Amino acid sequence: MASMRQERRERLRSRLKEDPFLTDQQLADIFHVSIATIRLDRMALNIPELRERTKEMAETTHSKLRSMHGMEVIGELVQLELGVQGVSILPIYHDMVFERTKIVRGHHLFAQGNSLAVAIVNSSMALTATAQVQFEKAVRLEERVVCQAQVRQRQHARFVIDVESRVERELVFSGTFVVVDVASKEDKNP
């Protein structure tokens, strides 16, 4: 019995390392146990609840921003490696969805991806030049969208950034953003 518990806890630790934004309910469903069991396992492993994990990640991440202020990023910025990649989380609330269908309005997904792409550029001023996006699947009220952006290519002051947004593990939005480091261009043109 103890070895099964220990094995589950190791799988839990591994799963949260892979996706730190899973809720206790999602973890209970994945491991086919009760929410109380997940909470006990997290406590035994000294893993804080989702809200605390997200808050800790956000606090350390916001201080790294250069191209925008923390409040300008759509969603909660939880990971940022300037010039490389970033992650944000966007919970879907009532004011973000169509009343009748409870499906999120597309501009929220675009804004999350676009703001994250701009945020990862290591510059005091960066702007989106072009964007090619695709809405893959409907997102509904009370779902959480995890957006990941990664620099694919950099040529001088131009960054090509790939963005993927998921609900749980399902792709809901993708895009390629070309972001220009305007500050470095201005430095070269006195």
Confidence at residue 185, expressed as pLDDT on a 0 to 100 scale:
58
d(CA 28, CA 12): 10
Each residue of 44-66: pLDDT tens digit? 888 888 777 766 666 555 555 55
Say how many C-beta atoms besides its own lie within 10 A of residue 140's C-beta. Answer: 14
Confidence at residue 190, expressed as pLDDT on a 0 to 100 scale:
45
Domains identified in the chain and CATH numbers: 2-47 (1.10.10.10), 55-188 (3.10.129.10)
Each residue of 80-120: pLDDT tens digit? 898 999 999 999 999 999 999 999 999 999 999 999 999 99
d(CA 42, CA 62): 26
Per-residue pLDDT band at 3 (split at 50, 70, 90): confident
d(CA 158, CA 68): 17
Q: Hey, CA dihedral for 164, 167, 169, 173, is it positive or negative?
A: negative
